[in-house]
Every structure is written in structure tokens, then in C-alpha cells.
Amino acid sequence: MTSIVAGWKEPTGLKSSSSSPSFIRKLYLGQDGLGDEGVQALAEFLSKDCKLNELRLHDNGIGSRGASSICSVLHLNQSMRVLVLGHNRIGELGAAAAGLLLRFNSSLTDLDLSGNELRDEGVKLLADCLPQNKTLRNLHLARNQFGPKGAKAFADALTAGGSSLFRVNLGSNKLRAEGAKHLSSMLLSKNLEISHLHLAAADIGDEGATSLADAMKENRTLCALYLQSNGIMDAGAQQLAEALRVNCTLSELHVDGNSISSKGVSALALASASMPLVLRPLPVDKRTALAMGLHARLGADSPLSSLDRKLVRAIADAAAVELSRKLRLSATTSK
């Protein structure tokens, strides 16, 4: 078994290494300037006896022709596990080719199509094929210029047909509150086992956060939710906090980069006081405010040792000295 990393600037470069690709298991050719011509030559080479487990072709200027060529070759490769085509320009036609790959291939577990200008129609073409694939676990569609229509197509396809997906990344697309609402409905489906949902920088706001919070009250598969940089304020944080009071499966909630004040952060932390939830990350000033809020909630006469140890660990790292000083001062002046 052999791994080949980059260095294939000419279409004939890899061919000279062997008359058959059967010995290659991992092929890393990211940022190699291949373009469609180079990828088509690679596809021709791999068509002989391809037993690849992992193929990485990110940042290569690959268009729809190159994507179609490589996906066609991999249809019958039942050893392929990881395909990375991120940050190319495969567009809607490339998405359709990837969808056909998912229909025929029964071994692929990881597919990265981030940054490929798929737009709403491309996402729909891909999503319509997902229910027919029973092996894909991780799908990355971040930065693909789609919005609520694409989110709806994705959600509808998975809700209707089910999916084997565990981790889904739809971040850095303009999903907005409407898109978040469609995805929230998807999370209520009994046909899905999505455990990690990435929606960072999706412009969902408080309204979108509220929709997701409502879904979290019933969903029992989601373990991590990524909502960074979404314009969420205290109102949205409060709704998420209410959901945390009844959700027993979520272990990570990423809300940094939003406009959540110490009041909203305190609500989130207090709601998760009895569970091992990780709130990532909390800036120092918010950690400090959170600690003060917790002390006030417990009462001025409560000893510091009564604070939940898990919460102490969650808020004490960067602000440990300042927290200790303020809490001691608070306890002293209240006597």
C-alpha cells in the first residue's frame, strides 16, 4: 500500500510511477494546479485498476468536466472512503456528478464539496441522491452560495428518504432564519442520526436560533451544534437555554462570535448546570460575568465550594485569577 502526496504538476507525472494504480491507497494532490485537463488524465489512469481509499483534490481549479471524470471512475471503486474536492468550481453539473457517485458507490464515508459554487440547484441535485446512499457519514457543503431554497431541498430530501449522515457542515451559506426553520424540521425526523450540525456564519439570527431551539427540545441524536457568528443576541440565547433544560444529548454548543451579553451567556450556563455541556468559547469578560451571575443565583451567603465543579472548570481557565478575586470580594462585602 502506498500514499502519494502532491507533486503531480504534469498529467503524465503519476503515470510514470506505475503502469497500474492498484498499489495506491491514498493520493493527496491538493493545491497542485491540475485543472480539468489534469484531473481527466488522472481519471484515465485510475480507471485501470483503482483501489484508492482516499483521494484529496482540493484547491485545483477543477470544473464540472474534471469532477464528472473523477466521479465516474469512482462509481465502482468499493474501497474508496474519503473524497475531497473542496475549493474548486465544480458547480451544479459537478454536484450532479457527485450525486451519481453516491447512488452507485457503497463505500464512501466522507465527501467534501466545500467552496464549489453549488448554489441552490446544485445542493438539490446532490441532496436528492443522499437517501440512496447508506454509507456516507460526513458531508461538507460550506461556502457554496446557497440559501433557504437549498436548505429546504436538503432538509426535504433527508426527511423523506432518510440518510446515514452523522456530521453535516452547511456553514458560511446565507441560510437565514427561513433556512434554519427547514433544517429544524429535518432534525425532528426519525429517519436521521445526525450528531454534528455545523451552521456557523449562516445569518440565522434570533429567529433561526429559536427554530433550532424548538427542535432541540425533541431531538435525541444531536451531540454538537455550531452556531458561531450568526447574529444571535440574548433573545436567541434565552431560547437555546430553555431547550438545554430539556435536551439530554447535546454535549457541545458553539455560540462564539454572536452578540450575546453576559445575561445571555449566564442563561445558557445555568440551563446546563446539571449536564456536561461545553459552551465554546466564552470570552474572559463573559466568563467573569457568568461567574458573578452564578454567585448571585446561589445567594450571597452561599459558600464558593457549592458551585458546580463542572461550571467552575468551564469558566475558570483564562479568567481564573480575576474570577477568584471578584467572588471573594462579593462574599466579603455581603456579610
CA gap 175, 160 in Å, rounded? 20
Category of 55 on φ-ψ map: left (φ > 0), alpha (ψ -120 to 50) or beta: beta
The neighbour count for residue 190, using CB atoms within 10 Å, is 9
Strand partners, 83: 55, 111
What b/e sequence results for 79-89 when a residue is b if at least 16 CB atoms lie within 10 Å of its CB, and e otherwise?
Answer: ebbbbbbbbbb
Residue 73 lies in a domain: no
Evaluate whether residue 304 is within a structural domain: yes
Instruction: Tell me what the mean pLDDT of segment 51-67 comes to.
Output: 97
pLDDT average, residue stretch 105-125? 98
Whether the pLDDT of residue 326 is over 50: the answer is no
Residue 81, pLDDT score: 98
How do strand 167-169 and strand 138-140 relate by DSSP bridges?
Answer: parallel
Residue 161 lies in a domain: yes
* Of 282, 263, 283, residue with least CA distance to 271: 263
Q: How far apart are CA 311 and CA 308, in angstroms?
A: 5
Q: 295 or 142: whose pLDDT is higher?
A: 142
Confidence of residue 22 (pLDDT cuts 50, 70, 90): confident
Can you give the CATH number for the domain in which 182 is found? 3.80.10.10
Of 260 and 272, the structure prediction assigns the larger pLDDT to: 260
The answer for 144, left when phi > 0, alpha when psi is -120 to 50, beta otherwise, is alpha
Percentage above 70 pLDDT, the chain: 76
- Report the relative pairing of strands 278-280 and 24-28 from DSSP bridges: unpaired
Structural domains in the chain (count): 1
Confirm if 191 and 162 have CB atoms less than 8 A apart: yes
Find all residues with CB under 8 Å of 136, minimum gap 6, and list them.
102, 108, 109, 110, 111, 130, 163, 164, 165
Residues 107-129: b if buried by 16+ CB within 10 A, e if exposed: ebebbbbbbbbbbbbbbbbbbbb
How far apart CA 264 and CA 110 sit, in angstroms, is 36
Q: Which three cell numbers stand for residue 257?
A: 462570535
Domain that holds residue 275: 56-64+79-333
Residue 321 lies in a domain: yes
Residues 6+ apart with CB under 8 A from 105: 74, 75, 76, 77, 78, 80, 133, 135
Q: Is residue 7 part of a domain?
A: no
Judge whether 8 lies within some domain.
no
Which of helix, strand or coil describes residue 313?
A: helix
Question: Is residue 257 within 8 Å of 227, Cβ to Cβ?
Answer: no
pLDDT in tens, 219-260: 999 999 999 999 999 999 999 999 999 998 999 999 999 999
Q: 185 CB contacts (<8 Å, ≥6 apart)?
A: 155, 159, 215
| Predicted confidence (pLDDT) at residue 18 exceeds the cutoff of 80 | no
pLDDT, residue 6, reads 52
Q: How far apart are CA 227 and CA 26, in angstroms?
A: 33
In a domain, 325, yes or no: yes
pTM: 0.84
Assigned domain for 39 exists: no
**Can you tell me the mean pLDDT for 309-320?**
46
Decide if pLDDT at 5 tops 60.
Answer: no
Chain segment 146-172, per-residue pLDDT in tens: 999 999 999 999 999 999 999 999 999
Q: With 0-12 CB in 10 A as exposed, 13-18 as middle and 19+ as buried, what is 100?
A: middle
N- to C-terminal Cα distance for the chain? 71
